[in-house]
Amino acid sequence: MEDKAQIQEAIKVQGEVVRKLKSEKANKQQIDEEVAKLLELKAQLGDDGKHQFVLKTAKGTRDYNPKQMAIREKVFNTIIHCFKRHGAETIDTPVFELKETLTGKYGEDSKLIYDLKDQGGELLSLRYDLTVPFARYLAMNKITNIKRYHIAKVYRRDNPAMTRGRYREFYQCDFDIAGQYDAMIPDAECLKIVHEILSELNLGDFCIKVNDRRILDGMFAVCGVPDDKFRTICSTVDKLDKMSWEDVKKEMVNEKGLSEVVADQIGEYVSMQGGMDLAERLLQDQKMSQSKQACAGLSDIRLLFSYLQLFQVTDKVVFDLSLARGLDYYTGIIYEAVLTQAGVDPVSTDTQNGTPGEENVSVGSVAGGGRYDGLVGMFDPKGRKVPCVGVSIGIERIFSIMEQKAEASAEKVRTTEVQVMVASAQKNLLEERLKLVTELWNAGIKAEVMYKKNPKLLSQLQHCEESGIPLVAILGEQELKDGVVKLRVVATREEADISRADLIGEIRRRTRQA
Amino acid sequence: MEDKAQIQEAIKVQGEVVRKLKSEKANKQQIDEEVAKLLELKAQLGDDGKHQFVLKTAKGTRDYNPKQMAIREKVFNTIIHCFKRHGAETIDTPVFELKETLTGKYGEDSKLIYDLKDQGGELLSLRYDLTVPFARYLAMNKITNIKRYHIAKVYRRDNPAMTRGRYREFYQCDFDIAGQYDAMIPDAECLKIVHEILSELNLGDFCIKVNDRRILDGMFAVCGVPDDKFRTICSTVDKLDKMSWEDVKKEMVNEKGLSEVVADQIGEYVSMQGGMDLAERLLQDQKMSQSKQACAGLSDIRLLFSYLQLFQVTDKVVFDLSLARGLDYYTGIIYEAVLTQAGVDPVSTDTQNGTPGEENVSVGSVAGGGRYDGLVGMFDPKGRKVPCVGVSIGIERIFSIMEQKAEASAEKVRTTEVQVMVASAQKNLLEERLKLVTELWNAGIKAEVMYKKNPKLLSQLQHCEESGIPLVAILGEQELKDGVVKLRVVATREEADISRADLIGEIRRRTRQA
């Protein structure tokens, strides 16, 4: 195939051209043109289906291997069980939405949305989160109350640090309560759920910070921040978990144009942390009490804490005025859970790229959410609002931690649930093995047989050791004559002859706990 | 906002222009240009995030509501349980792959692949099936044997008849065995799995057709089909489940250029159905036995049936020479399961668009698969082959059938698993309700409470009736004084006072079967 070789040569040359332009930091248009030529050449090759493929997954994505899947299943089971305990239903939505459904929902982050190619028909984008599709679903089906969870992948064209367990394709795991209810009861249940899940997953100590958008806005107002700067100052405050106050202040003054005095007043408030007492104190605060918005938020925080006491979760909840959260659509209470034990911090794996000691500051957020009473109304033709509050579990970070734990632990992660391997000690027993394994399958026993006519007993036993299968049912000429099976415990190597009639019962009995 | 109104008016006008051109069947370029203008206008509006959205999901996709999800969960559980019983692990791959990974794998169907927009970086496409990503995964990780299942959504820009339960986004549910094993043992297990799943799901009677690519190719050869027409004739034969032999023959002769004699000889073979006996007869067939390929395939079919006997599934398996299956990558045995009971046929819902009586012919395929020994080698730099055989469960069709069954049945599909509702008979008992529901949650009981300060008892009971909650724990002044809870059975309205200490045990006891 001369053609193919020629194209490959051309690709090589063109690749050099692109690299050179990039290293020279040539202008973008020029680079783009040369990259387009390169892709064109590659596409020519691609069509014959025979060239050597680039063996990789798309940037920012990954496969899950069986071990990762076993861990993922365990985590999902814990979380789903909790959602179900709280009476949630589940829904699913398509992976892509009409582009306009997502437009205007994510502020600056909209640039991170993946668009599909226009192949004729509608303009589509991959979902960026599960909240906007949920709101679209509610409006489209005129649903005014529902308690639902949704676990699915979302897509962001980010440049994530993958060592931190962040990807372009990642799971979100959302629980939301939609409906017109009495204040703070569903909000408190969301926090109860976070508390239950993080406790059950055994991730170490954690803290759930709460605040309220109205308190932030009220605070900005009484400190003298101009109205049109609320959102941008809010996003600067949001950086306090990663930056020191000094740096945050610098950004407020130098980049966002606040006066030192205003910034310092904000600084005083955002250093405050407490519980119901702090909410009460701020309701009396001379400045704060001038803002109706802030007072509404503070009263709700006070009410929230009274419910949290009944739910027995105040030990982990802190009212923290520095909590801001980026997303535009929040209208009331907001919260975020962080792990406070450095030992299991997934962020610490790449501290070589950070400031020494930084890991104490940027402990990972593992859940977050808040109230968004306006989002569904954006989709309703008549603007009818459906108040919503929800929480998103930071499942990818939790996976990373669980994987690290599994790595560190002596216990092997099993990737199958096979209870028994049907093996033979001699040759020519394939038929007998297949008959027996059929009996077991038909009785609902999880069983395996090697796909060889005459496998060695040793290799059959080795497979059990490797994949953690607890029992082996061994057939031989003698066993067949006697109407028994030799049942071997892999861990202890104990063997016992069990009659064929008793075998299924015996396997069930021995693997009940497993 | 004058601007907005102006744009909306412009959209209206432009929409009329497009509609008019379409109704006049104007040339495509002209329509495309006007559509582009319309989209441009809509995009202008989209950016302010306030205009009225088109409230729909993308063409060919759908949301799953809680009831559909409950059915889906049940079906998945049955299938996953079967896969696990056979010792399968599971993996997951990203929803998009490098475009070139998919190129050259699907023949003509490649035009149905969804591409992502080039936003800088790699060229990406949504996965078209789970088999090609599986092969890419094996080659990339140098895995030479694995038994895995993968349940995930795939994407095809088809124009499916959605009344037939076909979509552009749909689930696939694949089980595959990769590895160099003795002939037909893993192949037979795939058929055993199909048999188990279709039996357990209780979809009515079914039939699993088997054939072999080598038998088809050998048959074409001995009938005198030119080598370069094997694939195209194969895809014509594949239409026999939807078209009569007369129409298939017409296509072979008129469109594909076969002679009548050759077509008739094919016609004779493809009308044959049987079991092991047919394989043996064809091995003696004067014509067929001239093809080495056909003989290899026929011997394997014979061997397969001997294993299927041991697996006790021959009652549903038929060797059918008309089975062809479209995909390019099959190299050996192929199979397809069809439901044979008209009553549950999802296709029959839109017979108004088909020929009368057609539903008896096009009974839906609900599982299919085969052996593809060459696919992994296409990804390996050195072309190393990993033999594979697998089956894909036609889960969307199964969902449709199960939904129809649920619709027809008197039994209500529950969308939550709540065991007990914590209710109050009087006012001002919110705190007591929250305390009690916390006790229940902490004990692992699935419980709910209404998010109102003072809900009416009637509305609390109604909620239980509607969502199938079996028990209500009712609190009142008297109950609190006595340290008891009134436990009410929703179905029978029986009530009994249970002491607080016994409540959790009592709820567990009463909902054990539920």
Q: What is the pLDDT of residue A44?
A: 67
Q: At CA A461, angle to CA A459 and CA A463, rounded to 5?
A: 70
Cα angle for residues B348, B269, B299 (degrees, 5° grid): 105
Nearest-CA distance A37 → chain B (Å): 13
The 3 state secondary structure assigned to A392-406 is EECHHHHHHHHHHHH
Which position has the token pair 């093809």? Answer: B291
Q: How many CB atoms are closer than 10 A to CB A293? A: 18
Residues 6+ apart with CB under 8 A from B95: A95, A153, A155, A169, B126, B127, B152, B153, B155
What are the structure tokens assigned to B4, written together?
């907005």
pLDDT in tens, B60-113: 999 999 999 999 999 999 999 999 999 999 999 999 999 999 988 887 788 999
A-interface mutation test, from B190, B451, B452, B459, most A Cβ less than 10 A away: B451
Type of residue at A117: K
Q: Confirm or reject contact between B29 and chain A (CB < 8 A).
A: no
DSSP collapsed to 3 states, A156-198: CCCCCCHHHCCCCEEEEEEEEEECCCCCCHHHHHHHHHHHHHH
Residues 160-189 of B with CB under 8 A from A: 169, 177, 179, 181-182, 185-186, 189
CA-closest candidate to residue A455, choices B181, B89, B309, B86: B181
In B137-156, the residues whose Cβ lies within 8 Å of chain A are 137, 139-141, 146, 148, 153, 155
pLDDT digits (tens, 9 = 90+) for A429-482: 999 999 999 999 999 999 999 999 999 999 999 999 999 999 999 999 999 999
DSSP B426: S
Please check the confidence at residue B183 and state whether its pLDDT lies above 50.
Answer: yes
- What is the block-wise mean pLDDT of chain A (514 residues), using blocks of 10 residues? 65 80 77 77 59 80 96 96 98 97 84 93 95 96 97 90 74 97 97 98 95 96 94 89 92 94 95 96 96 97 98 97 85 95 49 35 76 93 92 92 89 93 95 97 97 96 96 96 97 96 96 72
- Gap between the Cα atoms of A177 and A148, Å rounded: 7
Phi first, then psi, for residue B436 (nearest 5°) are -65, -45
Contacts of B433 in chain A (CB under 8 A): none
Option in A99, A379, A418 nearest B87 (CB): A418
Question: Which of B87, B126, B452 is facing A416, going by the closest CB pair?
Answer: B87
Q: Do B185 and A85 touch (CB under 8 A)?
A: no
HSE-CB at A137 with a 13 A cutoff on CA atoms is 22
Task: Report which secondary-structure segment, H or E, holds B207.
Answer: strand B206-212
Residue pair B310/B316 in contact (Cβ under 8 Å)? The answer is: no
User: What percent of chain A is modeled with pLDDT above 90?
Assistant: 72
Res B8: pLDDT: 74
Chain A residues with beta carbon closer than 8 angstroms to that of B87:
416, 418, 446-448
Distance CA A82, CA B469 (A): 17
CB A353 within 8 A of CB A380: no
Q: Give residue B166's pLDDT band: very low, low, confident or very high (50, 70, 90).
A: confident
pLDDT per position as a tens digit, A318-367: 999 999 987 778 999 999 999 997 554 444 444 333 333 333 333 578 99
If you ran DSSP here, which 8-state letter would residue A469 be given? -
d(Cα A400, Cα B263) in Å, to the nearest integer?
A: 60
Q: Report how far apart, in Å, the C-alpha atoms of B141 and of each of B125, B132, B157, B216, B394 are.
A: 21, 14, 30, 34, 28
* pLDDT in the model for residue A94: 98
Tokens of B107: 């023949």
Domains of chain A: 2-46 (1.10.287.10), 66-408 (3.30.930.10), 420-510 (3.40.50.800)
| Best CA proximity match to A438, nearest among A429, A428, A448, A450 | A448
User: For residue B346, what pLDDT is reported?
Assistant: 45
Cα distances (Å, whole numbers) of residue A62 to A396, B375, B385: 12, 21, 23
Contact by Cβ (8 Å): B151, B80: yes
Q: pLDDT by residue (tens digit) across A358-411?
A: 333 335 789 999 999 999 999 988 888 999 999 999 899 999 899 988 988 888
pLDDT of residue B11: 80
Burial class (CB in 10 A: 0-12, 13-18, 19+), A348: middle
How far is the alpha carbon of B413 from chain A, nearest alpha carbon, in Å? Answer: 12
